[in-house]
Amino acid sequence: MRNKENTTKFKCIILSIEKSSYTSWIFILIIFLSVQQSVAVTQYHPIIVAGKSKITGVIKNLSPSARDSIFVHIAVPNPISGETVKYKAIVDQSGKFAIDAEVETNNTLISLYTNINPSKYFFLKLTNGGITHVDITYNSKNQIDSINTNLDMNQNDIVNGMEVLGKIISHKSGRKPQSLYNETPDYFLNYAKTILLGRLEILKSNTDISEEYKEILAKDFHLFLYKSHVFNYEDEMMLNYRNTNGGKSDKTDFIKIDRTYYRFLKDFNLNDPQYLNTPTFLEFQKEILRNEILNLPLIEELDIPSWLSKVKATLSDLVGFNDGQYYDILAANAYARQLNEELRPLSKKQKENISNYWGNGEIAKILFRKNQQVVELDKFKAPVVLNDVSSVTNEKLIATILSKYKNKAVFIDLWATWCGPCLDAMQRFRNTKNQFRDKDIVFVYLTNASSPKKLWEEKIKGIGNEHYYLTNSQWEYIMNMFKFEGIPSYLLYDKKGILVNKFTAFPESEEVKEMIDNLL
Helix and strand counts by DSSP (H, E) for the chain: 17, 14
CATH code for the domain in which residue 446 is found: 3.40.30.10
Residue 251: the pLDDT is 83
Are residues 121 and 267 part of one domain?
Answer: no
Are residues 370 and 389 part of one domain?
Answer: no
Residue 66: the pLDDT is 63
Last residue of a domain, one of 164, 191, 207: 164
Which of 391, 414, 393, 428 lies closest to 492 in space, CA to CA?
Answer: 414
Alpha carbon distance, N-terminus to C-terminus of the chain: 38
Are residues 328 and 212 part of one domain?
Answer: yes
Q: Which of 122-136, 149-163, 387-401, 411-425 shows the lowest mean pLDDT across its residues?
A: 149-163
Residue 292: the pLDDT is 92
Which of 22, 27, 33, 43 lies closest to 278 in space, CA to CA?
Answer: 33
CATH code for the domain in which residue 123 is found: 2.60.40.1120
What is the amino acid identity at position 186?
D
pLDDT grade for 39, boundaries at 50, 70 and 90: very low
Domain count, the chain: 3
Are residues 327 and 435 part of one domain?
Answer: no
Are residues 280 and 209 part of one domain?
Answer: yes
Q: Is 105 a member of any domain? A: yes
DSSP letter (8 states) at residue 128: T
Cβ–Cβ contacts within 10 Å for residue 271, how many?
15
Last residue of a domain, one of 377, 393, 422: 377
70-107 as b/e: b if 16+ CB within 10 A: bbbbbbbbbbbbbbbbebebebeeebebebebbbbbbb
Residues in Cβ contact with 25 at an 8 Å cutoff, skipping those fewer than 6 apart: 169, 224, 228
Q: Using an 8 Å Cβ cutoff, are 114 and 69 in contact?
A: no
| Alpha-carbon span 99 to 67, nearest angstrom | 18
Are residues 226 and 370 part of one domain?
Answer: yes
Omega prior to 189 cis, within 30 of 0: no
Q: Is 344 a member of any domain? A: yes
Q: Is 26 a member of any domain? A: no
Q: Using an 8 Å Cβ cutoff, are 199 and 221 in contact?
A: yes
pLDDT grade for 166, boundaries at 50, 70 and 90: low
- The stretch 284-311 carries a mean pLDDT of 96
Q: Using an 8 Å Cβ cutoff, are 506 and 421 in contact?
A: yes
Residue 4: the pLDDT is 37
- The stretch 217-238 carries a mean pLDDT of 92
Residue 230: the pLDDT is 95
Q: Using an 8 Å Cβ cutoff, are 343 and 336 in contact?
A: no
Cβ–Cβ contacts within 10 Å for residue 226, how many?
22
Are residues 357 and 241 part of one domain?
Answer: yes
For 245-265, the pLDDT digits (tens) are 988 878 888 999 999 999 999
| Alpha-carbon span 182 to 187, nearest angstrom | 10
Residue 65: the pLDDT is 62
Indicate the pTM of the whole model: 0.85
The more confident residue out of 366 and 198 is 366
Residues in Cβ contact with 491 at an 8 Å cutoff, skipping those fewer than 6 apart: 398, 410, 411, 412, 414, 482, 499, 501, 502
| Alpha-carbon span 141 to 160, nearest angstrom | 19
Residue 241: the pLDDT is 92
Q: Which of 156-170, 255-269, 418-432 holds the top average pLDDT? A: 255-269
- What CA–CA distances, in Å, run from 41 to 46, 214, 216, 271? 9, 11, 10, 16
Are residues 124 and 185 part of one domain?
Answer: no
For 448-506, the pLDDT digits (tens) are 999 988 889 988 988 999 999 999 999 999 999 999 999 999 999 999 999 999 999 99
pLDDT grade for 84, boundaries at 50, 70 and 90: very high
For 304-344, the pLDDT digits (tens) are 999 999 999 999 999 999 999 999 999 999 999 999 989 99
Q: Using an 8 Å Cβ cutoff, are 338 and 302 in contact?
A: no
Which structural domain, as residue segments, surrounds residue 268? 172-377
Last residue of a domain, one of 164, 183, 204: 164
Q: Is 333 a member of any domain? A: yes
Q: Is 475 a member of any domain? A: yes
DSSP letter (8 states) at residue 14: S
The residue count for the chain = 520
Are residues 146 and 130 part of one domain?
Answer: yes
pLDDT over 70 at 1, yes or no: no
Are residues 311 and 186 part of one domain?
Answer: yes
Q: Is 486 a member of any domain? A: yes
Are residues 101 and 42 part of one domain?
Answer: yes
Residue 380: the pLDDT is 81
Q: Is 18 a member of any domain? A: no
pLDDT grade for 44, boundaries at 50, 70 and 90: low
Residue 36: the pLDDT is 37
- The stretch 51-70 carries a mean pLDDT of 84
Residue 12: the pLDDT is 45
Share of residues in the chain with pLDDT > 90 (%)? 61
Are residues 177 and 160 part of one domain?
Answer: no
Omega prior to 118 cis, within 30 of 0: no
Q: Is 215 a member of any domain? A: yes
pLDDT grade for 29, boundaries at 50, 70 and 90: very low
